[in-house]
Structure 1
Amino acid sequence: MIKDMILFGKILYEQGLNHSHSGNISIRDGNEILIKRHGAMLGYLTKKDIVRINLNNDKKDKLASLEAKVHRAIYLKNSEIKAIAHGHTIYATVLSLHNKVIKPIDSEGRLYLPQIPVLDCKETIGSDEVAKKIPELISKYKCAIIKGHGAFAAGKNLEQASMYLSVIENASKILYLSKVYKQFSR
C-alpha cells in the first residue's frame, strides 16, 4: 500500500493535478487509513510521509493531511470505497467557480463521469461542512469538486481514484478549451 501511495502521488504530481505541497491521497486499511502527512510533497513521498490514522476517530490525526476528516467521512459513508485522491486541479477548479455541475463533452469523460457535482461551501479546506456534504456526492458520482478548491475522487483502489481525478481534469480542460475556441472562432 505504501508503494502504491508513493507511485500514485508521483503520477498525480507529474500530471499537474497538484502543485508542490498540495493535494493528498489515502487508502483504507481495515479500521485504519493510510494518508499523506501534512506538509509532505505529494510527488516525492517517502515511507515517513505516510501516516496511519483511525477510521473511527481523530485521535491520531495530528500529523495527517488537513483533509483527514474529509477522507474519514467518505470512507465511513461507503465501505466499498478503498482509496481517495484529492487534487488541486486547475481547469476543474476554474470551471467550479462558474458551474454547479460539470458535464463532460468528451467521450472518455462522459463514459467515466457523466456529471461532476460542484460543492459550494463557506469553508473549503478540511472543513466540517465539506466532511458532512461530500460523502453523499462521492458515493453517488465517484467524485466531486469543491468550488474554488479542487476535486476529490474515490475508487476501489488508488489507481482507480487517481484515474477518476485525471478524468475530471482532462474533461474540464477539454470543456474549457472548447468554450475558448468557440469565442475566438466566431
Structure 2
Amino acid sequence: MSAASELITAGRRLVDAGLSPGSSGNLSIREGNRIFITGTGTSLGGLDEADIAVLDLDGTHVSGARSSKEAPLHVGFYRRDETHRAVVHLHSPFAVAASCLEPWAAHSAVPPLTPYFVMRVGQTPLLPYRHPGDPELGRDLAEAPWMLRAALLANHGSIVAGSDMDDAVDRGIELEEACRIALLTAQAPRREIDPAQVVELAARWGSPWQPGLPIH
C-alpha cells in the first residue's frame, strides 16, 4: 500500500472512531528521506491523494498539497527517533480535555490506571502551550527530557508515534481511552497501578516508563 493510501485509510478510521472532529488533526508517514503528511485544512475522513504533501526530513516542502501547519510536530518526532515511521496528531475530546488540566506527574500527564495504557502507550508528558503551528512545538517534542512515544500538548491535543501507521493509530486510540478513564475517575478516590508493577509492565512490553531517566 502506498503512503497516500495508508494516510487515507487511517484518516477514515480515526474519523469513524470519533477522534477527528471537523478538519482537525493530521497524519504523516516517513519513507526514507521523505515525509508524507496530510495537507492543511483537510478532513481526515475525506482525504484523497491530492490532499497529501511531501516534505524532506527538515520539513521543507517538496511536492503535493500545502502541508499542515503542524508539520513541525511531525518533524520533531522523526528527528527524535528514527524508528518512528508514522505520527498521528489529534484534537480528540478526552485528550484535549486532559491537556487542559495540570499533569499527573512531570513524566506523564496521564496516570497509570490501566495496564493497556502502560503497555501500548507508555508515559505521556504534557508539553508547554504554544500556538498551533509554532515551530517551537517540534523542538519541544524533539528535546523533551523523557523517553516517550506520545505526548499531550497543553490546551491542544495529543501526538503519538508508531513503527507504522496502524501502530500509531492504535496508540492514539489507546491514549484517548486512557484520558477518558482518567477524567471519569478524577473526582473519586481511585487506585493506580503500583509503581513497581508499572515498571515491570513497561519492561515486559518495551514501552517507555522510566521517570527521571534522561535521553541518551
TM-score between both structures, scaled by the size of structure 2: 0.77
| Residue equivalent to 2:53 | 51
% identity of equivalent residues: 27
Provide the residue aligned with 1:15 in structure 2.
17
Contact 1:2 1:50 in 2 (8 A): yes
Q: Which gives a bigger RCO, structure 1 or 2 (Cα 8 Å, sep 6+)? A: 1
Alignment of 1:92 with 2:92, yes or no, is: no
Matches within 5 A, 1:21-170: 21-60=23-62, 63-100=66-103, 101-121=109-129, 123-137=130-144, 140-170=147-177
Q: State the number of aligned residues.
A: 182
* Matching residue's letter, 2:16: E
Q: Which runs of 4+ in 1 moved over 3 A?
A: 59-62, 136-139
Deviates more, 1:39-48 or 1:171-180: 171-180
- Cα offsets for 1:56-87 (capped at 9, x unmatched): 34244870011112211221221111110000
Determine the C-alpha separation between the residues in 2 that align with 1:57 and 1:46: 21
User: How far apart, in 1, do the equivalents of 2:173 and 2:145 lie?
Assistant: 16
Q: In structure 1, how many angstroms separate the alpha carbons of the residues matched to 2:120 and 2:176? A: 12
Mapped partners of 1:102, 1:34: distance in 2? 29
Contact 1:75 1:81 in 2 (8 A): yes
Q: Which runs of 5+ in 1 are unaligned?
A: none
Q: 2:182 aligns to what? A: 175
Root mean square deviation, CA, Å:
2.2
TM-score normalised to the size of structure 1?
Answer: 0.89
Structure 2: give runs of 5+ residues left out of the alignment. Answer: 104-108, 190-216
Where is the helix percentage greater, Structure 1 or Structure 2? Answer: 1
